[in-house]
Amino acid sequence: MGLLDKLSGWLGLKKKEVNVLCLGLDNSGKTTIINQLKPANAQAQDIVPTIGFNIEKFKNSSLSFTVFDMSGQSRYRNLWEHYYKESHAIIFVIDSGDKLRMVVAKEELDTLLSHEDIRGRKMPVLFYANKMDLRDAVSSVKVSQMLCLENIRDKPWHICASNAIRGEGLQEGLDWLQEQIAQ
């Protein structure tokens, strides 16, 4: 079995499995982003607030993603840390239109990055500055300033502006993530 697995891996037949954790505050658009990344025929029409978490699987050209779409509501945020250990990458979604709760997003991010299961690991973190279509949305540069992303030195990170409803900017981030995991 082991030999066969390796062989298929060399030949590129079997895709590498990657666990990705999708985090962010409630109403930031995590489920919408994951929904957009799924194949068109599997996409859901209505997005409702996630309770607990959802597991979604989809495939890319070379990788097979298993995404843990966590609920962002404050009462479920303590579930996040139970999935840090098994995950290989993190997608952190920010509502660019919610300036008031940027401090809450920063607080959750700081807690996340200082967690013992995350701290020492060199796992890629992808930030989506979501809801760019809103009139009062701040730019992705401003978001990275407000979250003090320049202080993250031990992990590769990338921020991209997105509009999850129309799917804009999502693929760019996913390409970066794929590149990082392949390394």
Partner 1 sequence: MSESSGNGGKWLDAHYDPVAGLFTFSPCVDLADLSGDGESRLVVGDLGSGSTGMKLKVFRGTALLSESTLLDLPAGLVAFFMDLHEPRIPAVAVASGPCVYVYKNLRPYFKFTLPGLEVNSLEQDVWQQAREGQIDPLTLKEMLESIRKKADVPLSMRSLRFLSLETDDMDDFVQLHKQQPIRRQTVITCIGTLKKSTADDDGVSCLVIGTESSDVYVLDPEAFVILSKMSLPAAPTMMDVTGQFDVEFRITVACRDGNIYVLRRELDKPKYCIKLSSHPVGLVRVGKNVMVGCTDESLQGFTQKGKKLWRTVLAAPITTMAAMDLPTRGFQAVLVGLANCEVQLYRDKNLLSTIKTPDVVTSICFGRYGREDGTLIMTTKGGGLMVKILKRTAVFDDRDGAPGPPLAQSVRLNVPKKTKLYVDQTLRERENGLAMHRAFQMDLSRMRLTAAKAYVKALESSLAPVSSSISEPLKMNAVVQGLGPSFKLTLNVQNTAACRPATNLAISFLYDEGLYRMRNPYMRIPLLVPGLVYPVETSVECTSDKGISDIIKVFVLHEGRSCPLLTAHINMPVSEGEMLN
Among 136, 151, 153, 183, interactor with partner 1 by CB under 8 A? 136
Any binding-site annotation on 133?
A: yes
Phi, psi values for residue 20, rounded to 5°: -120, 135
Any binding-site annotation on 72?
A: yes
Any binding-site annotation on 24?
A: yes
Distance CA 137, CA 98 (A): 8
Q: Is 98 in the site for partner 1 (CB under 8 A)?
A: yes
Q: Is 82 in the site for partner 1 (CB under 8 A)?
A: no
Exposed / middle / buried, residue 167 (Cβ in 10 Å: 0-12, 13-18, 19+): middle
Closer Cβ to partner 1, 75 or 153, answer by number:
75
Closer Cβ to partner 1, 77 or 158, answer by number:
77
Residue 152 carries which DSSP code?
Answer: -
Distance CA 141, CA 130 (A): 12
- Catalytic residue (choose from 36, 43, 73, 178): 73
Which region among 71-79, 81-89, 149-157, 174-182 touches partner 1 (by CB under 8 A)? 71-79
